[in-house]
Amino acid sequence: MRKFIVGIVVLVVGLSSPAFAAGRMVPLAAVSSADAQTSASQDKADKDRKKAAEREAKDAKEDERLLDEAQAEIDAFALALLEAKYDDPFLQEYVNELGQSLVPSETPAGVLFSFRVIENRAPNALALPDGRIFVTSGLLTFINNEAQLAFVLGHEIGHVIERHYARSIREAKSRARIGAIVGAGLGAIIGAASKGKQGAVGGAVAGAAIGYAVAAVTMNSYSRQQEDEADRRGVMLALDRRFDAREAQGMFQKLASTFGDEDRFGNALWGRHSRNVERIENIDRLLGGDLAARYNPLRAAGELSLGSGQMYLYTSAMIRDTAIDYMDDDRYDLAKTLLEQISSYRARDPKTLWALGKVYKTIGRTAADRNKALDMLQQGVRLDERNRYPYIRRDYGLMQARLGNTAGAVESLKSYILNYQELRLADPTDIENMYDYLLTFGDSTWKAPKLDTRIVMASSDPDPTVAPPVPVSPATSSPAKPPQNTLRPPTTPRPAQRRP
């Protein structure tokens, strides 16, 4: 608890001091009584102490009042953020569990920590004053191991226990720059980088009563000094759990080399190039400076680790989906890097193979690249034994045609249409294009079965031994499917590999 009080005192002293504005912290010793030898100076020191304590109590009360006042607004914001919660309970539990393990035993009253992943490509993280912490899928995508994730969560815990929001709320109120902050902050968190479901969430947030409190807790309104303090906390909390906090530099390096300041994600603090470079240096300063006495012995004793090595087991599906989103942004280079990074964890995942095939198909320049694309797509079709992804068959067919195998293309496009019908009970929206392609590739007569016929026949046929009314054959190379009632051994997930 003592540490926390020190934090508040420093903040409080700093707030009312011109030295704070000048970027210098007032050391606690300033109100201590080192020179209290005479009774006069003793009296003065006592008075100063009393004054500081009164100011502290008053400010703590004011913080509480501000938070009370803002609670409804913060709740509305949290609700909107939860709408964008990444739909993967396995991943959510993993992140929450790691976060909870980092929370120090003494926390401010009224704070209950929770850790959640929200779906958004902009790399970001934020903490609400009551301890609700959110990390975007866009940031998680660039995290390579648990040590890095521990640092990120520890940083956000730091904002909460240092009560950084209090100063930010005051500033936002006094400077009346709320509009600008809301614009930048919300833009970064749920704004321009969003689509689909998140677009709706952006609307919900805009419709909620957004004011100074939410403006204050969005990342862009924290001062650089507060960010550095939170980084320091992140390092300390990670070390408490024996994670090698220096790992965070690798994450910042990756973010810095991926995003520029002019990038559309530049507004998100964790996506801003220049700031990420500074934070790499900041961690150097911390680990080589006042935290060296703590870091070096742990490091020398081999007590620090990157974590359990299990992270990709939880995040690789999310990274795949983020990579696919990046293809929509024409960032095929980034998509390729991300997909290759997780490919060994998802070697039997049709969607990963499809995405890799699409990347090679799009940015490949040589015949070898095109053959690689064909190979990936073919493997994707073969592995899609549950027929979950009809479009792999379509893209495989088009690739076959590009490489001169029009007969194979015809078969693949037919199986695309049939699989799509089976899955969605509708014709593919691009069926007219498909008929054009079939005609081009040499089949001018084949017709997709009428949907109502398929539905009626499928639902009136309870006998599983009777052949299905419509042959739905996977593309060319697929092995025949076993009958429905055959038990198959479950596919066991590949164990995650420990990174070197």
By the criterion CB under 5 A, which residues form the site for Zn ion?
A: 227, 230
What is the rounded CA–CA span in Å between residue 479 and residue 391? Answer: 19
Are 333 and 363 in contact by the 8 Å Cβ rule? The answer is yes
What is the rounded CA–CA span in Å between residue 274 and residue 123? Answer: 15
The residue written with tokens 């997930």 in the block is 493
How far apart are CB 270 and Zn ion at their closest, in Å? 8
DSSP helix/strand/coil, 117? strand
How far apart are CB 169 and Zn ion at their closest, in Å? 15
What is the rounded CA–CA span in Å between residue 491 and residue 350? Answer: 13
How far apart are CB 272 and Zn ion at their closest, in Å? 12
How far apart are CB 316 and Zn ion at their closest, in Å? 27
Residue 243, beta-bridge partner list: 305
What is the rounded CA–CA span in Å between residue 318 and residue 437? Answer: 33
How far apart are CB 194 and Zn ion at their closest, in Å? 21
Nearer to Zn ion, 227 or 349 (CB): 227
How far apart are CB 159 and Zn ion at their closest, in Å? 5
- Parallel, antiparallel, or unpaired: how do β-strands 125-127 and 132-136 relate? antiparallel
Nearer to Zn ion, 88 or 227 (CB): 227
Q: DSSP states of 384-407 as a string? A: -TT---HHHHHHHHHHHHHTT-HH
How far apart are CB 28 and Zn ion at their closest, in Å? 24
Are 142 and 255 in contact by the 8 Å Cβ rule? The answer is yes
What is the rounded CA–CA span in Å between residue 444 and residue 435? Answer: 8
- Cα–Cα distances in angstroms (integers) from residue 407 to residues 358, 384, 403, 439, 487, in the given order: 21, 21, 11, 11, 34
Amino acid at 445: T
Nearer to Zn ion, 135 or 230 (CB): 230
How far apart are CB 204 and Zn ion at their closest, in Å? 24
Are 156 and 132 in contact by the 8 Å Cβ rule? The answer is no
The residue written with tokens 């709706």 in the block is 200
Nearer to Zn ion, 193 or 230 (CB): 230
Nearer to Zn ion, 148 or 352 (CB): 148
Nearer to Zn ion, 121 or 233 (CB): 233
User: CB within 8 A of 211, min separation 6: which ones?
Assistant: 70, 73, 178
User: CB within 8 A of 96, min separation 6: which ones?
Assistant: 114, 115, 116
Of 7, 26, 8, the C-alpha closest to 18 is 26
Nearer to Zn ion, 140 or 438 (CB): 140
Nearer to Zn ion, 135 or 381 (CB): 135
How far apart are CB 220 and Zn ion at their closest, in Å? 10
Nearer to Zn ion, 120 or 352 (CB): 120
Amino acid at 355: A
Q: Which residue is nearest to Zn ion (CB)?
A: 230
What is the rounded CA–CA span in Å between residue 264 and residue 257? Answer: 14
Nearer to Zn ion, 217 or 381 (CB): 217
How far apart are CB 231 and Zn ion at their closest, in Å? 8
Nearer to Zn ion, 73 or 227 (CB): 227
Nearer to Zn ion, 59 or 229 (CB): 229
Q: Six-digit token pair at 428?
A: 């593919």
- Cα–Cα distances in angstroms (integers) from residue 369 to residues 77, 361, 470, in the given order: 46, 7, 36
Nearer to Zn ion, 205 or 230 (CB): 230
DSSP helix/strand/coil, 6? helix
Are 135 and 115 in contact by the 8 Å Cβ rule? The answer is yes
How far apart are CB 236 and Zn ion at their closest, in Å? 15
How far apart are CB 230 and Zn ion at their closest, in Å? 5
DSSP helix/strand/coil, 135? strand
Burial (CB count <10 Å: 0-12, 13-18, 19+), residue 111 = middle
How far apart are CB 23 and Zn ion at their closest, in Å? 18
Main-chain dihedrals φ then ψ at residue 498, nearest 5 degrees: -70, 130
